Structure 1
Amino acid sequence: MEFRQLKTFMSIVNLGSFSQAAQFLGYTQSSVTTHIQLLEKELNTILFERFGHQLMLTTDGERLYDYAEKITKLADDAKNEFDHFEIPRGPIMIGMPESLCVYYLTDLLQEYTLLYPDVQLKVKFGIGSDFRNLLRKNMMDFAFFHEKDSSDTDLISTLLWDEPMGMLASPDHALAACHNVQIKDLQEQRLIFMESGTAYQTALEEGLAKAEIVPKTILEICHIQTIKQMVINNLGITVLPLAAAAEELKAGILIQLPWQGVELETNAYLAYHKDKWLSHGIRAFIRLMEERLLK
């Protein structure tokens, strides 16, 4: 029984599928399948069974998961006990919204990798709800959030900075001539968002539902540059951090609408689980961020 096979097994359980575990671990799906087949052969049992599209643990799979948790915890404890390297090394998984990475953290990431080449830095784009799940499963070391406030009792959160938001449109958009834009003005408008689950999108959608306003369409696009280009081409309006559209606003190809509806302002936070052991690499990243961005 190999340690990596147990890590693969736990990743499948935590993420819910072989394919997601393969993507997360950086393996091919056939490698993940082989790890499980070897475990099942050595233990002479079946670990997973399928009901339609649902992957479930067998009774023996549940028993193995309890042991796998204890084994990996002991391995981590042993590593932490004897890891006295002053130079950061090893893997670090960071979660962050794309806008924070591109418009705030790119130079920081570059400097960090130059300072600490022995750290295998991995960055995962996404939203707060996904990051929370991964932090709680110890499958992500720390994450950056766009939230109005932070109230998770099991996460240690640090407020980094205010993040001004803007409702953006093309200068040719029908709402561009308005002196103020309210919830009712979004009736039959096409809205373009990053991903569902962001704090500002949730606030806007709740405001729309309360006012019984129905947009024409709500599109979800995974890349900020694509969203901005669609809005520049007058295909809809969006809500983005103003930092993400500073150049386009300065050039006049995007405008900030005078929004008077629900509050969209948010903040940037850094968070990690309260039980997380902060390795030398994690501490070095946080220290560098404080020196470069929080002066």
Structure 2
Amino acid sequence: MEIRQLKTFITIVKLGSFSQAAQFLGYTQSTVTTHIQLLEKELATALFERFGHQLMLTTDGERLYDYAEQIAKLADDAKNEFDNFAVPRGPVIIGMPESLCVYYLTDVLKEYASLYPDVGLKLKLGIASDFRLLLRKNMMDLAFFLEKNIKDADLVGQLLWPEPVVMVAAPQHRLARQKKVRVKDLQGQTFVFTDAGSSYRRVLEEILAKTDVQARTVLEIGQIQTIKQFVIANLGIAILPLIAVKKEIETGLLAALPWQGPDLKTGAYLVYHKDKWHSHAIRAFIKLVQERLLK
């Protein structure tokens, strides 16, 4: 029993003839006849009978009509409900590094919230290693990564833009007065790092490990603003996305060290699990990010 067959049945009853129903529905009369024949076969009963030129419902036809109207109404209600879901709504959970959130994504998030007020945006600040776990457990819909590349077989990553990473120190720091800073110059230095697991911290630690250069002290601080204050106070050196320290470098509060070691550059990626179903709200967010941030 199909919805379209029931709707054909209802239309015949309301209009009083097969031919008028066919015209109203845009079917051929043979299609309308087939719909009724299939219903009668499935229900093992006759739905209509004729008295001369008058088409009338049988007793079973009258019984079916009440059900058919209810079923058709429920089907229409369901369709209307899901049509309304074309307007993004519901929760969307997004992970992002603090630096991207503060310096790149604020305007996008504001615009998205304005365009789609029925979407409940939930933002989680953190690092890529945490986001990977949450994406794989389907506890996060999308995440922004700062990585050299995305190699995970189960994750899909779209590069949005290349993100330079700089090594910074206070202007009075010894390394800030050098024309070149090489890996060996980092021996015995104090580093002020973001949480373990950030991509650019991991890259530098791998460089130091390969060259057997050891830091004297590592200060691990979760907040970029605090890291900058520590470095400005000459408590150590740090590596951070250029966007996060650009203003301080321009005003002379921080000095960008003339790094001559391996490339520290990363890229900003929008990442989701390859098996993730994308709701209208998720698709709308991805589209807006691509329109505003894809370079």
Give, as a single letter, the amino acid of the residue that structure 2 aligns with 1:119. Answer: V
SS of residue paired to 1:144: strand
Does the 8 A contact of 1:203 with 1:262 survive in 2?
no
**Number of residue equivalences:** 216
Q: Measure how far apart 1:263 and its partner are.
A: 2.1
SS of residue paired to 1:145: strand
Structure 1 range deviating more: 193-202 or 249-258: 193-202
CA distance in 2: counterparts of 1:272 and 1:171, whole angstroms: 40
CA distance in 1: counterparts of 2:158 and 2:215, whole angstroms: 35
Residue 149, structure 1, aligned to residue 156, structure 2:
no
Does the 8 A contact of 1:93 with 1:121 survive in 2?
yes
Match of 2:159 in 1: 159
Q: Measure how far apart 1:286 and its partner are.
A: 1.1
Q: Measure how far apart 1:294 and its partner are.
A: 2.2
Q: Deviations over 1:133-162 (max 9, x none)?
A: 111110000100011011111111101100
SS of residue paired to 1:105: helix
Match of 2:286 in 1: 286
Q: State the identity %.
A: 62
- Structure 1 alignment gaps of length 5 or more: 1-77
Match of 1:138 in 2: 138
SS of residue paired to 2:213: coil
Residue 268, structure 1, aligned to residue 271, structure 2:
no
Match of 2:182 in 1: 182
SS of residue paired to 2:226: helix
CA distance in 2: counterparts of 1:117 and 1:250, whole angstroms: 38
Match of 2:204 in 1: 204
Give, as a single letter, the amino acid of the residue that structure 2 aligns with 1:139. Answer: M
CA distance in 1: counterparts of 2:284 and 2:90, whole angstroms: 12
Q: Deviations over 1:100-154 (max 9, x none)?
A: 0000001111111111111110111111111111111100001000110111111
CA distance in 1: counterparts of 2:127 and 2:148, whole angstroms: 14
CA distance in 2: counterparts of 1:156 and 1:148, whole angstroms: 14
The TM-score, its normalising length taken from structure 1, stands at: 0.71
CA distance in 2: counterparts of 1:294 and 1:141, whole angstroms: 19
Aligned pairs (5 A) from 1:1-295: 82=82, 85-294=85-294
Q: Deviations over 1:203-228 (max 9, x none)?
A: 21122122222111111111111111
Give, as a single letter, the amino acid of the residue that structure 1 aligns with 2:119. Answer: V
Give, as a single letter, the amino acid of the residue that structure 2 aligns with 1:97. Answer: P
Match of 1:53 in 2: none
SS of residue paired to 2:204: helix
Give, as a single letter, the amino acid of the residue that structure 1 aligns with 2:262. Answer: V
CA distance in 2: counterparts of 1:288 and 1:236, whole angstroms: 39
CA distance in 1: counterparts of 2:195 and 2:262, whole angstroms: 19
- Structure 2 alignment gaps of length 5 or more: 1-77
The TM-score, its normalising length taken from structure 2, stands at: 0.71
Larger-Rg structure: 2
Q: Deviations over 1:146-186 (max 9, x none)?
A: 11011111111101100001000110101111111111111
Runs of 4+ aligned residues of structure 1 deviating over 4 Å after TM superposition are 81-84
Match of 2:51 in 1: none
CA distance in 2: counterparts of 1:164 and 1:146, whole angstroms: 10
CA distance in 1: counterparts of 2:262 and 2:285, whole angstroms: 35
SS of residue paired to 1:102: helix
